[in-house]
Amino acid sequence: MKKYGNTILNKSEAPALVGIVPRKNLWDVVRNQRWYHIPVESSPRNLLEIKYLSFYFPSVFGEKFQYQVIHYAPVFKIDTVKRIQLFPDEPLNPRADKDYYQIHLGGIKELPRPIPSKRFRRIVHIPTTLQRLFSAEEINDLYDTSPIEDKMYKGLRRKNINPERQMFVYLGYQTYCLDFCIYCKKANIDVECDGERYHALPDAFTKDRIRNNQLESFGWHVLRFSGKDIHRNLENSLVTVERTISNLKGLKK
C-alpha cells in the first residue's frame, strides 16, 4: 500500500502521467539517462505527486511507435533546474534560463499492450493512474479527471458513442480544451461537464458564455450538463446527446 496525500492507496491506484516525447533525441535521453523534463510554468497540477511516467509518441517516430503509449517507468524523484543545466550544449536557446522539472526515472518497461490514439489529435499531458495504464484499450480510457466526467464517459461508451476526451481545438486566435468532442457528419459536438462550485461563480458563468458563443460561431454544438444532471439523471443527459447526434446526421467514422 502507498500513501497519496492523506489517503492510503493500492499500488495500482498510484497517480501517473503520460507525457509526449516530441523528438527522437529526447527519447534517447529518457532511455539512456533516465530522466524526462517538463517546463514548470506549463506543468500539470499533480506533477509532484506522480509515481509513474509513461510516454506518448507522435508521428516523427514512424508507424511502429506513432500515436501510441507503449512504455512506462517508476518516478524516483523530481528536481527543479534551469534548462541550461539539462542541455548545456544549447546555451542560446531562448528558454535556457527557464525553470524545468527534471523527473528521474527507474527502469523503463513496456506496458502489457500498446495504448493507441484512434484519431489524430494533440496530446500534451494526460493525468492517469497505474491501473489505467494497464487496463486502457485506447487513449481516452487513460484520463483521470473528475467523477462526473468519468461517469459521462462510461455512459457515452455504453451508448456506443466514442468521444475524444480533453480535446484541444483552435478557433480563430483562441484555443479551447473540450471535456468531450463528438464528431458528427454535419457538425461536431462539445459536451461539457460543469462542476457545481466553479461554474456557479459569476466570472466562470461569463467565461462559459463567451466560450459557448465562440464555439457556436464556428459551427460547434455545445451541450453543458451540471454535476446534478449527471449524478441524478444521466440517462436524460445521454438522450439529449443522442438526439443532437441524430440531428447532425449521425456519428462520423
> 91 vs 24, 25, 101, 102, 159, CA distance in Å?
21, 17, 18, 18, 53
Q: What are the pLDDT digits (tens) for 164-185?
A: 999 999 988 889 999 999 999 9
- CATH number for 2-141 (one of 2.30.130, 3.30.450, 3.30.1360, 1.10.10): it is 2.30.130
pTM over 0.85: yes
Q: What are the pLDDT digits (tens) for 106-134?
A: 999 999 999 999 988 888 899 999 999 99
Fold of 147-247: Endonuclease; Chain A (3.40.960)
Which pLDDT value is given to residue 201?
A: 57
Which pLDDT value is given to residue 173?
A: 85
Which pLDDT value is given to residue 206?
A: 85
For the chain, which residues score pLDDT lower than 70? 1-10, 196-202
The owner of cell 534551469 is 82
Residue 107: partners with Cβ closer than 8 Å, 6 or more residues away? 73, 74
Would you list the domain boundaries of the chain? 2-141, 147-247
